[in-house]
A and B are shown apart, each in its own frame.
Chain A
Amino acid sequence: MIDQKNLLSQITEISFTVNDLNLYLDTHPLDENALNAFKDAMTQRKQLLQTYAENFEPLTMNCICPDSNNKTKSHTKYPDQRHFTWSDGPLPWEGGVF
């Protein structure tokens, strides 16, 4: 059983890395170390977002798939129906799963 809170924490951390490297690369577009770090972090972020969407709700539009999202049927009004999974999951401003 995947720990939802732990997985979302990992997404928060790796996404912060991606975001901060993004701003750094905006002003240092040829920095080899930063380019490699960005590539690695972005690969991890994509994998984690995919794993999260398969087990829980999709966090981005690109992760929405009514047939493969939210295997654990968490935070959904329609646990046994094919449905639009974008509305699954807690609202971020309610604290989410943290």
Chain B
Amino acid sequence: MWTYEKRLQFPVNIKNTCPKTASLIISQFGGPDGELAASMRYLSQRYTMPCKEVGGLLTDIGTEELGHLEMICSIIYQLTKNLTIEQAKTAGFDAYYIDHTTALWPMAAGGVPFNACEFQSKGDAITDLVEDLAAEQKARTTYDNLIRMIADPDVREPLKFLRAREVVHFQRFGEALENIKSTLNPKNYYYYNPEFDKQFVKKEM
């Protein structure tokens, strides 16, 4: 169950229209390392996670990612809400405008639509947590690239906040992986799959 809180996690208040910037930031909505993939990744993986604490962490980080999705969509919305047709023509936003006007639709900066293949839910605790660690770093790199390219401080401040959260999530997932490994056979972490071979899983997990 979820409830909505009627505020953004970090304020977004952008004064200048810029469809070009919106067309880059949209990757963090529906791109390969975006917030939609992040939330769906963690919220899909949690059901079969054998350790209760790690399932809880996936729920909480997945929930925060939904808040990040809302921030990213707010940035894109505010960058394009006062768009003129002349701005749409000149700033490379024309193709998107034809299909979606100024509505939000999840896709990558390169125009590829959002696809569930952007994330994995593999059913093996080590595999999934290593995927999550890589996902946080890929999202952090994408934010690095955006911050390098974008000059408007109104856009940079929320992006810097989101970048910092990727680093924190990476740290928490690293601790979760160590937690899982502490319950496995230290001589061979890969002796069995802790999400499937239940006869090996210790009771306290």
Chain B residue total in the interface (Cβ 8 A)? 29
* B116, CB-defined interface residue at 8 Å: no
Task: Mark A76-98 against chain B: 1 for CB-CB distance below 8 A, else 0.
Answer: 00000000001001001111101
* B118, CB-defined interface residue at 8 Å: no
Closest to B165 in A: A20
Residues of chain A within 8 A (CB-CB) of B7 are 8, 11-12, 59, 92, 96
* B145, CB-defined interface residue at 8 Å: no
Q: Is the CB of B53 within 8 A of A23?
A: no
Closest to A29 in B: B53
Inter-chain CA distance A23–B57, complex, in Å, is: 7
Given A93-B70, A95-B11, A98-B13, also A26-B172 (CB < 8 A): yes
Inter-chain CA distance A11–B6, complex, in Å, is: 12
Residues of chain B within 8 A (CB-CB) of A9 are 11
Q: Which of A51-80 contact B (CB under 8 A)?
A: 57-62
Inter-chain CA distance A59–B3, complex, in Å, is: 11
* B9, CB-defined interface residue at 8 Å: yes
* A44, CB-defined interface residue at 8 Å: no
Given A20-B168, A60-B3, A93-B78, also A27-B8 (CB < 8 A): no
CB distance from A51 to the nearest CB of B (A): 14
Q: Which of B1-24 contact A (CB under 8 A)?
A: 3-14
* B64, CB-defined interface residue at 8 Å: yes
* A19, CB-defined interface residue at 8 Å: yes
Given A22-B60, A93-B73, also A12-B11 (CB < 8 A): yes
Count of chain A to chain B residue pairs whose CB atoms are closer than 8 Å in the complex? 77
Closest to B77 in A: A93
* B61, CB-defined interface residue at 8 Å: yes
Given A23-B57, A27-B172, also A12-B5 (CB < 8 A): no
CB distance from B154 to the nearest CB of A (A): 10
Task: Mark A32-62 against chain B: 1 for CB-CB distance below 8 A, else 0.
Answer: 0000000000000000000000000111111
What residues of chain B have their CB less than 8 Å away from a CB belonging to chain A? 3-14, 53, 56-57, 60-61, 64, 70, 73-74, 77-78, 168-169, 172, 175-176, 179
Name 15 A/B residue pairs within 8 A (Cβ), A-sorted.
A11-B7, A12-B9, A23-B60, A28-B175, A59-B6, A59-B7, A60-B6, A89-B6, A93-B8, A93-B70, A93-B73, A93-B74, A95-B11, A95-B78, A96-B11
